[in-house]
Copies of this chain bind each other. A is one copy, B any other.
Amino acid sequence: MEIEVLRLSHRLPRDERISTHVALVARAFGASSITYSGQHDAGLELSVSRIAKRWGGRLGGGDFTISYERNHTQFIKKRKREGFAIVHLTMYGIKIRKMIDALAKASPRPDKILIVVGSEAVPPEVYQLADYNVSVTSQPHSEVAALAITLDQLMDGTELERDDFLGEIRIEPSERGKKVVKR
């Protein structure tokens, strides 16, 4: 399954760290790229690209990429035309298990998904364009957490076990301390 992430309406300096976390979660949990709208942020792009290069892409895939898109509505429409199912994460949406079940039953089952991660004020048209408006817990918390849980659920937990990033360095899991291995 191919998964892309779209982060809406990035604001500086307010969203600097949150958007970085959103991007790194997208990468670590198996998305292939992140696109963001709002304010252009060369620093965000640099830090995400650096980490993506250092920690690597995956066997059979390229490095995780970040890019900017001025008009997120046009971007969502384009991905829809290309056959992506649009999953918009919002506190107000249906329960995530309901979306996962619906996707499993959909015919044909979508093999490309765009996950849209909002910021404070998401325009109504995003709710209309989404195939699924999805909530993780129906409680206020964090778009970073919602994205992680959604990717984990879409991947059926497999991302927590995978260990096939091909970067310059990788971590050797250890009971205590820090083991970083060069390839």
Which residues of A approach B to under 8 Å, CB–CB?
A: 14, 17-18, 21, 24-25, 27-29, 51, 55, 90-98, 124, 127-128, 130, 133, 135-142, 144-149, 152, 159-163, 165, 170-171, 173-180
Contact = CB atoms under 8 A, between A and B. Distances in A.
B28 A173 contact: no
A160 B148 contact: no
B141 A28 contact: yes
Contacts of A90: 178
A138 B161 contact: no
Contact of A97 (B55, B98, B161): B161
Nearest to A18: B17
B138 A92 contact: no
B142 A92 contact: no
B27 A138 contact: no
9 cross-chain pairs, A with B, having the tightest CB-CB distances, nearest first = A145-B148, A21-B142, A28-B139, A24-B141, A28-B141, A144-B144, A92-B178, A138-B171, A25-B145
A164 B174 CA distance: 38
A92 B180 CA distance: 8
B138 A173 contact: yes
